[in-house]
Amino acid sequence: MNFSAHNLAFTPNRIFCIGKNYSEHIKELGGTQIPEEPVVFMKPVCNIVAPGETLHLPSFGNELHHEAEVVLLIGKEGKNILKADALSYISAITLGLDLTLRDVQNKLKKAGLPWELSKSFEQSAPLGIFKDYSPKKIDLDNLFFSCSVNGNLRQKGNTREMIFPIANLIQALSNWWTLKPGDVIFTGTPAGVAPLQPGDKIEVESPVIGSFSWSLASA
């Protein structure tokens, strides 16, 4: 599946997502325990939504939250990658939204069930345009990004606040899977997640990466 027709000129392989990677986000959802290793879930690649496309509310949830994240594109195959080599496997970087049906997720958590219904529904992975990664131009240990809704700032974060920095994430994922070109990694969201309403315009932005936006269809 090639997304070039949707202004996303790459062929995605898998979407890995990292949960609970910012301590303040854990706190805002009522959590207290910091994970000992990355929390990983996945989304289907068909859920990618290019910038400017219209989002639609799922029919089976009532509380759709935005979660702004730094997103990585893997450029070469690797298994059991050393932390010192991890960043060399990144070909490009962008921002995205891990859209979450919070009411559905809360029910699933209470029942001890997987998160797919709350995280992997259609259009749950809005994704910006990837920018080629160069360690000389982009410091992945100190990258600021934000999310605004209707022009009002909702989230602001910096990769230096991650519980598991990007190099650690790549190392851990490569211990569990063989990472391959086209793998996409959503790296976790900072505090400030909140519900979206029909008619909202959601914008994610970083001075280094750029700005991307989506509108949620009116009812």
pLDDT tens per residue across span 115-149: 899 999 999 999 999 999 999 999 999 999 999 99
Supply the pLDDT for residue 39.
95
Q: Which residues contact 139 (CB under 8 A, 6 or more apart)?
A: none
All domains of the chain in start order, with CATH: 4-216 (3.90.850.10)
Residue (of 104, 197, 105) closest to 154 by Cα position: 197
- Mean pLDDT value across the chain: 93
193-198's contacts with Cβ under 8 Å and 24+ in sequence apart are: 193/25, 193/28, 193/29, 193/65, 193/66, 193/67, 193/100, 193/102, 193/154, 193/155, 194/65, 194/66, 194/149, 194/154, 195/63, 195/64, 195/65, 195/102, 196/64, 196/65, 196/66, 196/149, 198/57
Quick check: 153 pLDDT over 90?
A: yes
- Convert the pLDDT of each residue in 45-85 to its tens digit: 999 999 999 999 998 999 999 999 999 999 999 999 999 99
Residue (of 64, 68, 16, 20) closest to 43 by Cα position: 16
Q: How confident is the model at residue 20 (pLDDT cuts 50, 70, 90)?
A: very high
- Average pLDDT on 25-52 reads 92
Quick check: 29 pLDDT over 90?
A: no
- Average pLDDT on 157-177 reads 98
pTM: 0.94
